[in-house]
Chains A and B, each alone.
Chain A
Amino acid sequence: MSILVNKDTKVIVQGFTGKEGSFHAEQCLAYGTKIVGGVTPNKGGQTHLGQPVFNTVKEAVETTGATVSMIFVPPAFVGDAVMEAAEAGIELAVIITEGAPVKDMQAAKAHATKHGMMTIGPNCPGIITAEECKIGIMPGMIFKKGNVGLISKSGTLTYEGTNQVVQEGYGITTAVGIGGDPIIGLSYKQLLPMFEADPETECIVMIGEIGGDLEIQAAKLIKEQITKPVVAFIAGQTAPKGKTMGHAGAIVSGSAGTAKEKMEALEAAGVTVVVSPAEIGAAVTKAMAKK
């Protein structure tokens, strides 16, 4: 078991024939992901990486039966691509592209919700179910199969956390990089209950950062609904106020969005909060031993 994606998930790629799309689609195929085609306007009918290319998402879905789309189109076209996927009946869009205008994402996410499509990202590494299905840009080789679920706003902290979990002798069910933009798709609030319901996941690692209040909402939900142990790290305890720290959403405005308030809320909800990402592995081992 896993959440959202597995070895049978059929995936198409929007922006299939572009440089980034090609490179990462090839890596995903090599990992074993069932990429069944892709979309690049005006290249319909061609074959790319051994898979059919379509002009529209609608044609791609009708022909291949894909339920997930991995989006690599340039930032200015992300909104359009997400809305097209939603109307074509895609169930989950994984948006890798960094730098999409916030206004476009706002409209696209609202439209996706209206059509019942889930989104992950933008500006994220994607989602991976270990040794089954990689939809994104993460280094597949570090993800060994196991019983730990992982949710992270940061790409490299996803790798760092996973690597430590694996070094400790455990592994990953599914890892989801939710992205660091001000408006993102699936977040802790939706993903934590999925891991709670997944019989194979025994422990959840949650990596957050400064800015916004998604981690505070997560703390409330954990207290009420999550029985599995949760280990959390919040990046940016030493970040200055009012400065954007790389991710567009990582900014402390006034007294809101600090690492301190998020860490306190999570601790109050019974979460094991570590002060450095270097301690994630040890905390997971402790949590697994207690079970």
Chain B
Amino acid sequence: MNIHEYQAKQIFAKYGVPTPKGIMVESVKDAVVAAQELGGPVWVVKAQIHAGGRGLGGGVKLAKTLEEVETLAHEILGMTLVTHQTTAEGKLVQKLYIEDGADIKDEFYLSVVLDRASEMPLIMASTEGGMNIEDVAENTPEKIITIPVDPAIGFQGFHGRQLAFGLGITDKDEQKKIISFAQKLFKLYMENDAEMIEINPLVRTGSGDFIALDGKMGFDNSALGRQPDILAMRDLTEEDPDEVEAAHYGLSYVALDGEIGCMVNGAGLAMGTMDTINHMGGTPANFLDVGGSANAETVAKGFEIILKNPKVKAIFVNIFGGIVRCDRIANGIIEATKITDVNVPVIVRLDGTNAPEAAEILKKANIANLIVGNDLGDGAAKAVAAAKGN
């Protein structure tokens, strides 16, 4: 789960990580009131969406007067922002963050992520702040320093010294400040079950202070149950409504661009099914894992979500029953044809637990449009042919 910049900064402030003062608003009128309250003399008007690259997309702008704040708020609020991290359609800006301007001397990059190789949180930092870090990693990897921190010992002085020297910070007072900054950031990373924190840029001001000018945080979905304050920050309007609805029914769904709807049990087989369709010359319309507890209701819901997509020309149901019983899936398919208008060919391949019973159930139901796939390859081939109208 991801949160907005203004929310990340609320968490930063709670842990004493310095940020500029700011106020989140949802209207032009409130934007001006917020700017008055902050006092100026300069403000930054920032679009709040769950995607990076907002500045380049025109969603972050500097205002020198209250009139400018008003004009910019008017311009940015309600705009559809397209960045390298959004889809081509972009994202609607519904919230703004009005922030004090900062006196920027230098820009750094600082993040904490889980390093799967060392199985530890990893602090990454660079003197190349304000740039796309993936470009820095590609072109000048020597400018990125990485410091793994073993949670069993926590953030120690030597980690801090590696960071300060690595960034070329030589002033002793500034060293203390950056070390304290990183220490607090690591603490909040651990205590909130964060998956990643990224500050880009982290700025050094003219007076030698370090401030988080930006803030991005993502969290471990498996830990949200014990992080009620974080869960309360979830903004559903930033997520794909079909994915949210699917998750509500225990389905894992991701929309894609193709024509063949997929309903599969297990994430690996679901990806493998997409890959197989692709290699046979078809295009998958979605990833859909019905999970281990699939029943008639969830299968019917799956059909409904897949069929919302007008591009879908055929549906391939590919189930290898382990815990999932094929007879339940078969009943789900029958249920779905009763409550939804399944107007495209459905190719069904059911193997594993109770597959013979399932075949019998489907045969008896005698559903038009239903084609049996004998195995994964056969089912995928029939789905590709059906989508092409053959």
Contacts and interface: CB of A to CB of B under 8 A. Distances in A.
Interface of A: 75-76, 98-104, 106-107, 109-110, 125, 137-139, 142, 152-157, 159-160, 163, 180, 182-183, 207, 209-210, 212-213, 233, 235-240, 242-243, 245-250, 254-255, 259, 275-279
A160 B376 contact: yes
B272 A233 contact: yes
A110 B119 contact: yes
Listed from nearest, the 6 A-B pairs whose CB atoms lie closest are A154-B268, A246-B267, A156-B266, A278-B377, A156-B269, A101-B223
Q: What's the dominant secondary structure at chain B's contact region?
A: mixed
A157 B269 contact: yes
10 contacts: A106-B151, A154-B269, A159-B352, A163-B320, A238-B277, A238-B278, A248-B220, A259-B275, A275-B275, A276-B376
Contact of B274 (A110, A157, A239): A239
A237 B220 contact: no
Given A182-B114, A239-B271, A103 B377 contact: no
A52 to B, nearest CB: 27
Nearest to A247: B267
Contacts of A210: 271
B117 A213 contact: yes
A235 to B, nearest CB: 4
Contact of B322 (A98, A156, A235, A278): A156
B321 interface: yes
Given A157-B269, A279-B377, 7 more contacts: A110-B152, A154-B267, A235-B269, A239-B287, A243-B254, A245-B270, A276-B377
Interface residues of B, number: 55
A277 B279 contact: no
A156 B322 CA distance: 7
B134 interface: yes
Contacts of A106: 114, 119-120, 151
Most chain B CB neighbours (cut-off 10 Å) among A103, A180, A182? A103
B190 interface: yes
Nearest to A102: B220
A261 B179 CA distance: 37
Contacts of A254: 134, 137
Given A235-B275, A240-B254, A245 B117 contact: no
A156 B277 CA distance: 17
B276 A245 contact: no
B276 A278 contact: yes
A245 B287 contact: yes
Given A213-B116, A247-B267, A107 B221 contact: no
A209 B222 contact: no
B228 interface: no
Contacts of A255: 134, 138
Contacts of B150: 110
Nearest to B120: A106
Contacts of B137: 254
Contact of A235 (B268, B321, B353): B268
B178 to A, nearest CB: 25
Contact of B320 (A160, A213, A276): A160
Contact of A155 (B254, B266, B284, B287): B266
B119 A183 contact: yes
Nearest to B121: A106
Contacts of B279: 275-276
Interface in B291-347: 292, 320-323
Nearest to B270: A246
Nearest to A282: B377
Nearest to A104: B223
B268 A155 contact: yes
Given A101-B220, A142-B352, A180 B322 contact: no
